[in-house]
Structure 1
Amino acid sequence: MYDYELSWTPETKQLDRPYYKSLFRFLARDIMTGVLEPNVRLPSQRELSYYLDINFTTVTRAYKMAFEQGLLYSIKGKGTFVSPQANVDQTVFHDWVPNRAINLGFVDVFHDQDPQVTRLIHDELNDLQVAKVFSYDRENDALNRAKAGKTWLSLLGITPSPAVKILMMTGAQSALTTIMMGLFARGDAIAVDEYTYSNFIELAKLVGIELMPIPQDRFGMRIDILAEQLVSRRIKGVYVMPLRSNPTNLMMSAGRRHALADLAMAHDLLIIEDDYLRFLKPDAGPALLELAPSKTIGIFSTSKAIAPGIRLGFIACDAQFEQRLHHTFVDLESQVSTIDAIMMTDLILSGKVRKIVKSRVAQIQQANQICDALAIGNTQGLSLHRWIALPDDCQVTVLQQRLRDANILVLFDDHFRVGHDTRHRFIRVSLSATSSLTELRNGLIQLQALIQLSSGK
């Protein structure tokens, strides 16, 4: 027996077969109830197996399940620790918004609509051919959707290779679910930015995929650190948002994109490229889909550029993935709405979508100008959100309460954090969910004042 106390010692008599599942349940229970606090170092697998008098691999399997659920993290040479995100529900729900709140939390499309956009959508609804709704021409519909997808990618400045196939999906979240369920398996590991899309974090937990946080700098994901991780870890894929990553608002440089493409080709990594804001900068340089087409699954949503109520987007992938993704999409019963598909296809192929996107970009420019004038967050060009670093002496719990009292909704870094470093705190501020630009400006001024009031002694 060890001459020191272990940080966690479950009751041996309570374990039942299969032991690894029982051990995982007790570990998860003690983490979720606060018995095991964030960043506590757990006993090593060998220590715990010796203490419980069970097989070493039994503890390994239990810990692996906990890693897949985002309950643990490890530091090479130091051990296994309880994740500070274990008790944080990182899914973002739009029904969180209280009545009459100033919504700086959700990345949405402006409520204050441009009359031209309203008229275009209204005309499209009026022109919708009822006969098309009551019929389904599989061959022609598939061809038109693929043609619309190729046209949308062209509008984004992307020219895919002839081998790339394009599938219409019911939005980015549906596309991510289809990719995760169709191309990955429980227990796989995917590298992500240390702060990443919150709903992707919860999706990974749901399907049992372990996320490996990789630090960012001002050029995006550190590909050199990812390469180091590949030496000791089996990583199957990489999830990135090259243009205006959510939430950090960073843009992956062309050099980093080339480096990631080269790494993917050399190590057989599958890249998930989520470029939902590329419409803001179609001249951003080559997409990963263009640099490594056989190793990249591209997701190109339309909702932020056109209308959130028409939740459609496109997956672009090499032909080798097409059937698996299509079958998974059908198996998940995520069929695209015929009406939405007809509308989106017509808007894109008729060229009307260009007018809508132009109007959206103009609104986003106005919102960003308000932020720039107030010196809010990091600025690297147009975006739908900003990432604000809080002062080191900010009392975060005090700030959170003051924001609640002021009826201002923002999202803090713990919604997006995959890593374990909690030394620095941040807020993500949406620029597009308020009822007007005036409300946005007033909300940002109040937020600045509350941050200042909550900082310092």
Structure 2
Amino acid sequence: MTKWLPRIDHTEGPMYQALADAIERDVFAGTLQPGVRLPTHRDLADGLGVNVTTITRGYAEAERRGLVSGTVGRGTFIAADAATPSSMVSFEPHSPGLIEMGLVTPIARQDPDLGEALRRLARRRDPDAFLRYTDPRGLPKHREAGAVLAGVYGMPAKAEDVLVCAGSQHALTCCFMSLFNPGDRVAACALTYPGLKSLSAMLGFRLCSVAMDEQGMLPEALDAACRRLGIRGLYLMPHMHNPTTACMGAKRRAAIAETAARHGLRIVEDDAYSLYATDRSSPVSSMAPERSIFIAGTSKIMGGGLRVAYAVAGRELRDDMARGILNSVWMTPTLNAEIVSEWVMNGKPEQIMERRRQSLQERHAMVRDILHGQRMARQETSPYVWWELPGSWTGQALESAARQAGINIFGAGKFAVGEAPAPRCARLSLTGATDRDEFERGLSLLKDLVSREP
């Protein structure tokens, strides 16, 4: 435990906010490093000459800002990603010529023909139907398409189980806005999707880090967290885990489902990249359908700009999810849902994913050739690899140096949950570069970059 005693600036605002400001200032100055344990509430209260309640509120405000992680019985620690923005997207414009190797987007020019779809819709007798309000859950035929796509993901579903959402991020927002309350604890892998971290900060639920291995989340670690912390929910990406590409075997999935059932957890399963794999196991949600929401997204498959996803919800959860859709966008735009649903019913997802997998195999070969000897976790057709960085490189150092070299890449800090320091890794996207030449140029620049010390 550090003997840190902050300098509290004189302010007209509450003392607890000044304490949170001091933590934030010292985190970004490097005085407080990830994983450092802060003084106990009592010790810091005595050192500053204030009451314990002020320290408690200050630490809570720092946790709300994503600066610290508090664990009952262990103390308060500086969060692994305290100085790392979790957002995957910057509102600042990209520098001209910046090579995108951070964001995972479908490889360009492999989507279905949108023009043909729009021409077909324009020939309909009732195109004005798409201008009207509809059921927030989605039109019956769109929900039927959602059930078909869920089946492609391996999740059995009927149309009545499905709600149509405006993209997977919207589905996640509705899940956590509707099914959990501020302060509720939700378990996630120690490395997880940054969009979940952003939602946690925005909606006030608390993410709890659970240890993982090469198959993803450890059932015994989840069980221990539930016993110690009173977990209410569980977030999973079991097939092609983001960012590590870990894949849960069938036995591990069954053990996770059993642990979740024993502790009464609500499961949110967002296996956004599972269709990139050549072989798939049954979703964890299929083993506990009444307490689960499975998100069958389309943005990583086709037509990401149309923003359509299908949420398969257990009977007890459907009405809450429908209210979440109603209270956020009222309904997913039916014109978008019509286009995507027709593509689904015509078998476009399977056709497109076959082409995407072929392209990714070519890019994996380029990674092996150019970054030969580098240690990376990958699946044969994963759209990203998890790079164990050489020498003294850290993810944050590579992210910064790569950007100066004209490359956007994401260090491990963006994905870290809890107080444990982020591993010295980075996620390298294989799909963001516009073509093979740009991708090859980016790999060559990265090879040259890591051959030197940071």
Q: Distance in 1 between matches of 2:97 and 2:226?
A: 48
Which residue of structure 2 lines up, in the alignment, with residue 389 of structure 1? 388
The alignment partner of 2:163 has SS state of strand
Q: Distance in 2 between matches of 1:392 and 1:74?
A: 32
Which residue of structure 2 lines up, in the alignment, with residue 415 of structure 1? 414
Q: Is the 8 A contact 2:19 2:55 kept in 1?
A: no
The alignment partner of 1:327 has SS state of helix
Q: Is the 8 A contact 2:17 2:61 kept in 1?
A: no
Residues 357/128 of structure 1: CA separation in 2 closer, same or farther (3 Å cut): farther
Q: Distance in 2 between matches of 1:301 and 1:250?
A: 19
Which residue of structure 2 lines up, in the alignment, with residue 128 of structure 1? 121
Q: Is the 8 A contact 1:306 1:360 kept in 2?
A: no
Q: Is the 8 A contact 1:220 1:242 kept in 2?
A: yes
Q: Is the 8 A contact 1:69 1:209 kept in 2?
A: no
Shift of residue 48 of structure 1? 4.0
Which residue of structure 2 lines up, in the alignment, with residue 19 of structure 1? none
Greater mean deviation of Cα atoms: 206-215 or 128-137: 128-137
Partner letter of residue 417 of structure 2? V
Is 2:97 the counterpart of 1:100? yes
Which residue of structure 1 lines up, in the alignment, with residue 154 of structure 2? 157
Per-residue deviation, residues 87-117 of structure 1 (Å, max 9, x unmatched): 3221111655322111111101112x14xx4
Residues 63/371 of structure 1: CA separation in 2 closer, same or farther (3 Å cut): same
Partner letter of residue 449 of structure 1? D
Q: Distance in 2 between matches of 1:347 and 1:163?
A: 17
Is 2:41 the counterpart of 1:32? no
Query: Which consecutive unaligned segments of at least 5 residues does structure 2 have?
Result: none
Is 2:348 the counterpart of 1:357? no
Greater mean deviation of Cα atoms: 321-330 or 28-37: 28-37
Q: Is the 8 A contact 1:190 1:238 kept in 2?
A: yes
Residues 451/77 of structure 1: CA separation in 2 closer, same or farther (3 Å cut): same
Is 2:264 the counterpart of 1:272? no
Per-residue deviation, residues 1-58 of structure 1 (Å, max 9, x unmatched): xxx9963367699697xxxxx3441232112222762344323123345566766556
Which residue of structure 1 lines up, in the alignment, with residue 405 of structure 2? 406
Q: Distance in 2 between matches of 1:12 and 1:110?
A: 50
The alignment partner of 1:320 has SS state of coil
Greater mean deviation of Cα atoms: 406-415 or 54-63: 54-63
Q: Is the 8 A contact 2:211 2:218 kept in 1?
A: yes
Partner letter of residue 210 of structure 2? I
The alignment partner of 1:212 has SS state of strand
Partner letter of residue 393 of structure 2? C
Q: Distance in 2 between matches of 1:90 and 1:141?
A: 32
Q: Distance in 1 between matches of 2:282 and 2:296?
A: 14
Q: Is the 8 A contact 2:81 2:422 kept in 1?
A: no
Residues 423/207 of structure 1: CA separation in 2 closer, same or farther (3 Å cut): closer
Q: Distance in 1 between matches of 2:399 and 2:9?
A: 41
Residues 67/131 of structure 1: CA separation in 2 closer, same or farther (3 Å cut): farther
Partner letter of residue 128 of structure 2? F
Q: Distance in 2 between matches of 1:404 and 1:385?
A: 18
Partner letter of residue 100 of structure 1? G
Greater mean deviation of Cα atoms: 383-392 or 91-100: 91-100
- Counting only pairs closer than 5 Å after superposition, residues 2-401 of structure 1 correspond to structure 2 as 7-8=4-5, 22-34=14-26, 37-38=32-33, 39-49=35-45, 56=52, 59-74=55-70, 78-93=74-89, 97-111=94-108, 113-114=109-110, 117-118=111-112, 120-129=113-122, 131-135=125-129, 136=132, 138=134, 142-160=139-157, 165-281=161-277, 283-333=279-329, 335-374=331-370, 375=372, 377-394=376-393, 399-400=398-399
Q: Distance in 2 between matches of 1:397 and 1:296?
A: 35
Matched length: 442
The alignment partner of 2:26 has SS state of coil
Shift of residue 333 of structure 1? 2.2
Q: Is the 8 A contact 2:385 2:427 kept in 1?
A: yes
Q: Is the 8 A contact 1:156 1:282 kept in 2?
A: no
TM-score by length of structure 1 reads 0.87
RMSD after superposition = 2.9
Q: Distance in 2 between matches of 1:275 and 1:86?
A: 26
Q: Is the 8 A contact 2:239 2:247 kept in 1?
A: yes
